[in-house]
Structure 1
Amino acid sequence: MVQTAPETTSEKVVGASTDFADLSRTIKQAGLLDRRVGHYAVRVTLTLAAFAAAWALFGVLGDTWWQVGTAALLAVAGTHVAFIGHDAGHKQIFRGRRANDAVGLLHGALVGIGYGWWVGKHSRHHANPNHEDDDPDLDLPILAFSERQGRSRRGLARWTSSHQAFLFLPLLLLEGFNLHWSSVLAVWHGQTKRRGLEAALLVAHTAAYLGAVFFVLSPGRAVVFIAVHQGLWGLYMGLSFAPNHKGMPTTTGDDGWDFLRKQVLTSRNVRGSRWVDFALGGLNYQIEHHLFPNMPRPSLRRAQPVVQAFCADRGIAYAQTGLLSSYRDVLRHLHEVGAPLRAARG
């Protein structure tokens, strides 16, 4: 009987590094990275039409409390406008950066997000998903996503972290305001490449938005409209992104994972029908999206079974759950992380 030498650490690293190359080859041969310009032409047209129609309804209704319903419609339409900006930021629509940036800048301006700031922040997230030191999405001082982060919290942040499972959804109502403010700060501090252009777009958005709201509505109704619109927009945006990584393993320092395992093990998919795909903007295929960020959104559904089977063949854990279960997992994780802080107070 011939005995083989035990696999060395270097051999494991080489084997791991070739895994993604093998998967990438399969994905490319299936045409899943080909641009889908026609699909996006239809999607962009319908999304902008819905967004414009919601604002037209706002103008027709006039100064009435029925505008609370319009605010909700605009929150939904605005989120789908932001989804297209997200796709453009990943070069999912066109091959070239310039055309994608033009689409991204336009859609970011429509909802009041600094496109350049968001692309930079989101790129750091993709490079270091769920890394406690390097992922900006884990840099939320009033929340803790691991026991290590929880131990570092002090004062009010320690209290909010200890009760974060109960505060998480209410805090998402503020996410829209946070996106606007972070965009303004990024432009103010020169943290974007197109500082002048993005400043002009943010000023134009703010002037047009506030001008329209306060021109049509009385001051009291205008304030309520803004609160409902921005609150529901932030909530929808947050609920679209939260299931993707929250509650999945976090890392510190050099975790030793290759690219494939880093992206798969820190991400969670949300299974469901095409309605789930639509509602979450394709972000429910988070594993596939992180492995192939420039894959067009309509190709993610076809790529999912390919990636899942590949991971099963390599013995790589592949997390996938239902929509409601994903929120339950996130809240359970936040509650468990806050438990030591609550016990210390008790």
Structure 2
Amino acid sequence: MTSSPTVAARPPDARQGSDFARLTRQLKDAGLLDRRRGYYAARMAINVLLLAAVGTAMALLGDSWWQVLTAVLLAVVSTQFAFIGHDAGHRQIFRSHRHNDLVGHLHGGVTGISYQWWVGKHNRHHANPNHEDHDPDIEIHAIAFSREQAGDKRGLYRWITKYQAFLFFPLLLVEAVVLRISGLQALWHGELKHPWREAALQLLPAAAYLTAVFLLLSPLKAVVFIAVHQGLMGVYLGCSFAPNHKGMPIIAKGQRLDHLRKQVLTSRNVTGGRWVDALLGGLNHQVEHHLYPHMPRPNLRHAQPVVEDFCARNDIPYSKAGLRSSYAQVLRHLHDAGAPLRSGRRAPLG
């Protein structure tokens, strides 16, 4: 097995410039780029009701170890709020930037993840997925996505990378906390606009959350509750994003592809019924989402067969896998990327 497959260079084609435009017209004519405000209103209402139900259950249970179950439920609900924040960041809900940002900031306050910081980072990823020079999602201290990256690790990060396939899911336990800290760091370093608003949105909900938990529970139970909630939220978020690009081809430094091929070749769909759509917040339709980030979530399922057929007719490889198979592919890729460290050989350069 080879590490981090690289997108093969392809000479310019007279059709390439029009492929994406032709596909876009086809999807637009089918109404799949139209907004779905009713869907999002219902989805947000359900999430608010679920959050209220969890809060009510916490109040009724009081200082009990049964609160561990409410922490599990809160992790699920928090991640569903994060999915709405993701969609708002891509302008999937409203045409108005202001309305989308309002929804995004409110949901960021609930999840504890800075909406403004995350949108900037995520947009860079969308512009250049799996690109060695420009994608922040493949520049992670504790994880290597190629043998070359593994060879550059030092100290504790080198040891983690060595066994990263085995440590991947345990590492996700801190993902939610890392996202919170990253947003606070961006605020501290003056990287965010409207710093007072950002500080209020990040710090006030966190203070209210901690106050409520420690007033309701004994110190030990409160710490366990927070650990379970934040840990499982991190795992849920990581498991929703990991299958999308990990183990897919890497775009080498200096290599250029047209938009259609750049997005399709580096993305993987996760197949399944509507329950997978709900579980992964529509991110399982990653190919379609990357081609049309502003396409509303419920339309992605309908766009999928259109895009797959279009790719087949234009000889563009289209990747999809079942839920378990997608995770297996990710873990095999991570295991291979760390192979040089386990053998004691330094990864080749270049």
Category of TM-score, reference length = shorter chain: over 0.9
Q: Is the 8 A contact 2:164 2:334 kept in 1?
A: yes
Q: Which residue of 2 aligns with 1:66?
A: 66
Which amino acid is the alignment partner of residue 231 of structure 2? G
User: Residue deviations 1:209-246, cap 9 Å, x none?
Assistant: 00000000000100010000100000001000000000
Paired with 2:118 and 2:33, the residues of 1 have a C-alpha distance of 23
Q: CA deviation at 1:13?
A: 4.1
Larger RCO, structures 1/2 (Cα 8 Å, 6+ apart)? 2
Q: CA deviation at 1:203?
A: 1.3
Q: Cα 1:222–1:301, aligned 2, differ >3 Å: closer, same or farther?
A: same
Q: Which residue of 1 aligns with 2:297?
A: 297
Q: Is the 8 A contact 1:172 1:234 kept in 2?
A: yes
Q: Cα 1:194–1:14, aligned 2, differ >3 Å: closer, same or farther?
A: farther
User: Residue deviations 1:104-150, cap 9 Å, x none?
Assistant: 00001011111000000000000010112211111111110011211
Q: Is the 8 A contact 2:244 2:268 kept in 1?
A: yes
Which amino acid is the alignment partner of residue 46 of structure 2? L
SS in 2 for 1:269: strand
Q: Which residue of 1 aligns with 2:4?
A: none
User: Residue deviations 1:152-203, cap 9 Å, x none?
Assistant: 1122222111100001000000001101111111111122223211111111
Q: CA deviation at 1:252?
A: 2.5
Q: Which residue of 1 aligns with 2:197?
A: 197
Q: Which residue of 2 aligns with 1:306?
A: 306
Q: Which residue of 2 aligns with 1:256?
A: 256
Which amino acid is the alignment partner of residue 313 of structure 1? R
Is 2:119 the partner of 1:119?
A: yes
Which amino acid is the alignment partner of residue 131 of structure 2? H
Q: Is the 8 A contact 2:147 2:339 kept in 1?
A: no
Paired with 2:278 and 2:196, the residues of 1 have a C-alpha distance of 34
Paired with 1:205 and 1:26, the residues of 2 have a C-alpha distance of 44
Q: CA deviation at 1:12?
A: 2.9
Is 2:129 the partner of 1:129?
A: yes
Q: Which residue of 1 aligns with 2:327?
A: 327
**Any unmatched runs of 5+ in structure 2?**
1-8
Taking structure 2 as the reference length, what is the TM-score of the superposition?
0.94
Q: CA deviation at 1:316?
A: 0.5
Select between 63-72 and 144-153 the one with higher mean Cα deviation: 144-153
Q: CA deviation at 1:28?
A: 0.8
Q: Which residue of 2 aligns with 1:106?
A: 106
Paired with 1:321 and 1:87, the residues of 2 have a C-alpha distance of 23
Q: Is the 8 A contact 1:116 1:194 kept in 2?
A: no
SS in 1 for 2:248: coil
Select between 213-222 and 146-155 the one with higher mean Cα deviation: 146-155
Q: Cα 1:30–1:188, aligned 2, differ >3 Å: closer, same or farther?
A: same
Q: Which residue of 1 aligns with 2:6?
A: none
Which amino acid is the alignment partner of residue 311 of structure 1? C
Within 5 Å, give how 1:79-228 maps onto structure 2: 79-228=79-228
Which amino acid is the alignment partner of residue 60 of structure 1? L
User: Residue deviations 1:1-36, cap 9 Å, x none?
Assistant: xxxxxxxx9983442121111111111111101000
Q: Cα 1:186–1:10, aligned 2, differ >3 Å: closer, same or farther?
A: closer
Which amino acid is the alignment partner of residue 164 of structure 1? Q
Paired with 1:147 and 1:277, the residues of 2 have a C-alpha distance of 33
Identity among equivalent positions (%) equals: 59
**Any unmatched runs of 5+ in structure 1?**
1-8
Taking structure 1 as the reference length, what is the TM-score of the superposition?
0.95
Q: Which residue of 2 aligns with 1:341?
A: 341
Q: Cα 1:10–1:158, aligned 2, differ >3 Å: closer, same or farther?
A: closer
Q: Cα 1:11–1:171, aligned 2, differ >3 Å: closer, same or farther?
A: closer
Q: Which residue of 2 aligns with 1:5?
A: none
SS in 2 for 1:82: helix
Select between 13-22 and 44-53 the one with higher mean Cα deviation: 13-22
Q: Which residue of 1 aligns with 2:21?
A: 21
SS in 2 for 1:116: helix
Q: Cα 1:316–1:208, aligned 2, differ >3 Å: closer, same or farther?
A: same
Paired with 2:195 and 2:64, the residues of 1 have a C-alpha distance of 38
